[in-house]
Amino acid sequence: MAKKKQVEKEEKLEQTLWKTADKLRKNIDAAEYKHVVLGLIFLKYISDAFEDLYERLKAGEGEYAGADPEDPDEYGAENVFFVPEEARWSHIQAQAKMPNIGKTIDDAMDAIEGTNPRLKGILPKVYGRQNLDGQTLGGLIDTIGTIALGDAKAKSQDVLGRVYEYFLGQFALAEGQKGGQFYTPESIVQLLVEMLEPYKGRVYDPCCGSGGMFVQSEKFIKSHQGRLDDISIYGQESNQTTYRLCRMNLAIRGIDGSNIRWNTEGSFLNNAHKDLKADYIIANPPFNVKDWSGELLREDARWQYGTPPKGNANYAWIQHFLHHLAPNGKAGFVLANGSLSSNTGGEGDIRQKLVEADLIECIVMLPKALFFNTGIPACLWFLRRGKRQRAGEVLFIDASELGYMVNRKNRAFAAEDVQQVAKTYHDWLNEKDGYKDIKGFCKSTVLTDIEKHKFVLTPGRYVGIPEEEDDGIPFEVKMEGLTTALRSQMEQAKVLDEEIKIQLAKIGVVL
């Protein structure tokens, strides 16, 4: 009961913050105001963390004896950002009702970047614009000011992490189609991470959005008593504002984002990590992109298994991932279902070569309505170089019936759904006794069987239709019950037809 109350309290906190922030939408659209809100939340967090350490340094006890609380080096040693006096939350909140509050916040962001090189060019300076209502902004500052985000207790409970992820999800919903450019629904990321298990090594996402793949990898490591410094992350993003979201998302968790790169050309035209060989690749590339500059890359060295069509980037992404995998590396990524069966522009030939090279380990069919930004059905691909376990086999999983409806439009995986799929995969991979083919859900398939299906990888072709449970009622008894019910309904229909005729006759309509 106490745990339930704590969860309800946490949800109320996030929802209260969201309602306050949502008032800003009267003058600016969702794509703009997410930077306003998340920038303020970030500012509150680093100010809280600074103040927490500042008081300990000021007390000068134990390891902090003789420390100078105004020395930025003291904070760097503790992985805490130094916040200049004019940027501290106490100063911001004292100015919340002033007409120039927007400029005050922009100046604070500049001051923080000036003393923290890691944040240079990342923080939003959008608060002094005329279309941002100062009174509403002041109200948001007051609301955020009531919540501890960066002190020791809040850090232990990951208050900021929950609020930040909740807001990213809400912004994705608010933006609709555009929301998917920066946000992959959390339950999909959880499933990718639980299946890949990125414990140690280099983790790469060449279309990293707001950094959800990296954050979930960190959570996975912590939940399995691993060491965060055992992994290093690499990423690339072509949208500058989304890149800034990613860097802030990582900074609030103390994750080194120095290897996250931004350029407008993107990973195909301007590959920021050309020599990287990653141990894990986790990605959600944009589906079915037509304008990916494929005509400029016809002879690219990445197309080892065939040149992808100019009008669809799906197989360019697949081969980009493979190009960056270490000899025993693993990749897990989201693609549109069409990638499993398309033969357009030579895609079928590339898929055949991937199968024959034994690079495909698992395919998971996802349910509909998981994504905020598209209704296109999607799937997960898992590739591995240097297969040792289950060589010559592919596991197909049809998870299209799993999950629950969050609202009328969107579905999500429950924790038990994620565990069911991940456990099925790991039991199969490790050849445990717990794995067995389940009709309608999972099937381990040899490559020769895939060849018989002309290298189409749609899980439904292999797992089949689930068997219906026999309820023990004989067919004849069922039919007798159905016909009796149908006869009764037909009699009721006759009575209703006569009643309709009577009522219509009263207003002069004769049938």
Per-residue pLDDT reduced to its tens digit, 48-58: 889 999 999 99
Tokens 């002069």 belong to 508
Instruction: Look at the pTM and tell me if it is higher than 0.85.
Output: no
C-alpha dist (Å) from residue 293 to 51, 252, 412: 49, 35, 34
DSSP state, 406? S
C-alpha dist (Å) from residue 64 to 56, 372, 440: 7, 48, 62
- In tens, the pLDDT along 294-319 reads 999 999 999 999 999 999 999 999 99
Choice among 183-187, 387-391, 407-411, 472-476 with the minimum mean pLDDT: 472-476
Is the Cβ–Cβ distance between 444 and 393 less than 8 Å?
yes
- In tens, the pLDDT along 328-358 reads 999 999 999 999 999 999 999 999 999 999 9
pLDDT score, position 3? 39
Q: How far apart are CA 166 and CA 174, in angstroms?
A: 12
pLDDT score, position 217? 83
Burial (CB < 10 A; 0-12, 13-18, 19+), residue 404, is: exposed
Q: How far apart are CA 443 and CA 463, in angstroms?
A: 5
Please give the helix or strand (H or E) that residue 233 lies within, else none.
Answer: strand 231-237
pLDDT score, position 145? 85
Q: How far apart are CA 398 and CA 400, in angstroms?
A: 6
Q: How far apart are CA 100 and CA 105, in angstroms?
A: 9
Choice among 85-89, 205-209, 229-233, 454-458 with the minimum mean pLDDT: 229-233
| φ, ψ at 382 (rounded to 5°) | -125, 120
pLDDT score, position 20? 66
pLDDT score, position 480? 81
DSSP state, 307? P
pLDDT score, position 21? 66
Q: How far apart are CA 307 and CA 390, in angstroms?
A: 28
Tell me the residue type at 335. L
Please report the sign of the dihedral spanned by the C-alpha atoms of residue 327, residue 330, residue 334, residue 337: positive
pLDDT score, position 180? 44
pLDDT score, position 211? 84
CA 137 to chain centroid, in Å, comes to 28
Is the pLDDT at 277 greater than 70, yes or no? Answer: yes
Is the pLDDT at 187 greater than 50, yes or no? Answer: yes
pLDDT score, position 4? 39
Tell me the residue type at 83. V
- In tens, the pLDDT along 151-178 reads 666 665 566 666 766 776 676 666 554 4
Give the E-state strand segments of 298-424 in sequence order: 325-336, 360-365, 378-384, 393-398, 404-405, 411-412
Percent of the chain with pLDDT over 70: 85
Q: How far apart are the first and last CA of the chain?
A: 64
